[in-house]
Structure 1
Amino acid sequence: MTRSHTLTKNLLEQTTQRILLPNVSWSTYQALLADLGSGRSTRLAYDRGSLEIIMPSDIHEILKHLLERIVTALTEELDLPIRGVGSVTLNREDLQKGAEPDAGFYIQNAAKVRGKTIDLAIAPPPDLIIEVDIYSSSSRRLQIYQDLGVGEVWRATQTTIQFYQLVTVDGLSEYRECDRSPTFPLVTAEIIQQWLELAEREQDDNAMVRALRQWVRTQPTENVTESSS
């Protein structure tokens, strides 16, 4: 099933910009974070001297917002706790790695970070991260999230949604693509694509959320119970 979201031409023409800088020290990266401050759309990713600067396009931000609403609505319908942390900066100086996701959520570990500043030296990483990957590859950031120990990543491209789960194989952690969301096992990539297409077709984000809620409520009880356990 192909998915275009019937995007308007003017949105498609607005592309995400990406800059990659080599040989950047950790202190320079930290100083840049401080200078840029919060409340910005620009995202930074740092991996042992390489600094990636991403300036999202309009369609990138629209898709990110829709996926955030999907995650939030699913937790509400399944009675799961959640703490959304948006594009919070995730840093580990000991690993010389850091990144700012398009959206991050604590679900399984929500109680451990309530009322606290996110400091990966003492707190777990987000349970679920969203990366929108329409015009620039998220492969560098996926490697960073893997090393930071993020359990699940949703990667949205122009044609599909992919779920990645962190697994341990022979003592090493790596991402494995899976058919269903590990956090919400009743949810497949296909159903998320349908909700996204509905939002674009109706030009109404709330129409998508209403359809999502109705769909969850019609699922067999055992499926909903499994996703909530």
Structure 2
Amino acid sequence: MQTQLPVAETKESMPAEQRLTLNNIAWDTYEKILDAFGEHRAVRLHYNEGVLEFMVPLEAHENPSDIIGAFIRRLVVDSGFDLKSMASTTLRRKELQKGAEPDKCFYIQNESKVRGREVDLEKDPPPDLVLEVDITHTDIDKNHLYAKFGVPEFWRFDGQTLTILQLQDGEYQEVEQSLSLPWVNKSLFYEYLNNCKTLGEAQALRQLSTWIASHFPQS
């Protein structure tokens, strides 16, 4: 596939998220808010050492989140790997004073360790890959947050640009290829994203499957 930048509106024309940030919030208060809101809610919470952000995703956020999630799942499944995928799952560790509800997270290499049960980061490894869509500004330092969780690979999308980050010596470094899917370049993602806009999501996924069948390295 040829490299092609996605067709995208300007950020100013894309109402994507509504955010509210509170400072100096104790961990116990954060946990009480989680319990009060329950699991089935529109708002997502991120907590980082006393900073609590409430975020309500709108369509311009949810659509790329779902599209990219489908991209990752299709690559993993069609390549013959195992997968446990989670959306907006609450990841938290009290000793780190950190909590997150990413758009998508995936267990690939460590799927067998969490298969068929609820994940508990106090004893389970972190997800192998986390995806966050942030089209508007966030006050949470998500690179620091997920690095402290030990997430090996972090994908960030701002509505136009995909950034792939790999954890190296406790900090994220930007790379061009996925750690979990090392034969995949970002150019494939941009081609897929553009196809979603011009051909529709179903046809874009069909074309992606065709690409995987012809490009996935055979053992």
Q: State TM-score, norm by structure 1.
A: 0.88
Whether the aligned pair in 1 keeps the contact of 2:48 and 2:98 (CA below 8 Å) is yes
| 8 Å CA contact 2:16, 2:57 repeated in 1 | yes
* C-alpha RMSD over aligned residues: 2.1
SS in 1 for 2:89: coil
- Amino acid paired to 1:184: L
Q: Which structure 2 residues correspond to residues 113-132 of structure 1 after superposition, within 5 A? A: 113-132=114-133
For 1:78, the aligned partner's letter is: S
- Superposed structure 1 runs of 4+ greater than 4 Å apart: 6-9
| Among 172, 176, 184, the residue aligned to 1:175 | 172
Counterpart CA distance in 2 for 1:46 and 1:109 is: 25
* Residue identity matched to 2:193: L
Code of the aligned partner of 2:207: A
> Partners of 1:145 and 1:214 in 2: how far apart?
33
Deviations 1:39-70 (A, max 9, x none): 32321111111101111121110000001111
8 Å CA contact 2:6, 2:191 repeated in 1: no
CA offset at residue 6 of structure 1? 4.5
Query: In the alignment, which residue of structure 2 is the partner of 1:145?
Result: 146
Give the unaligned 5+ runs of structure 1: none
C-alpha distance in 1 between matches for 2:194 and 2:70: 14
Identity over the aligned pairs, expressed in percent? 34
1:34 matched to which residue of 2? 35
TM-score norm. by structure 2 comes to 0.92
Deviations 1:122-180 (A, max 9, x none): 10111101011212248612211110101101111222111101111xxxx11111010
Q: How many residues align?
A: 217
Residues 41 and 196 (structure 1), Cα distance of their counterparts in 2 relative to 1, 3 Å cut: farther
- The residue type equivalent to 1:182 in the other structure is L
Per the alignment, residue 191 of structure 1 pairs with 188
Tell me, what secondary structure is at the counterpart of 1:119?
coil
Residue in 1 that maps onto 2:64? 63
More RCO (CA 8 Å, sep 6+): 2
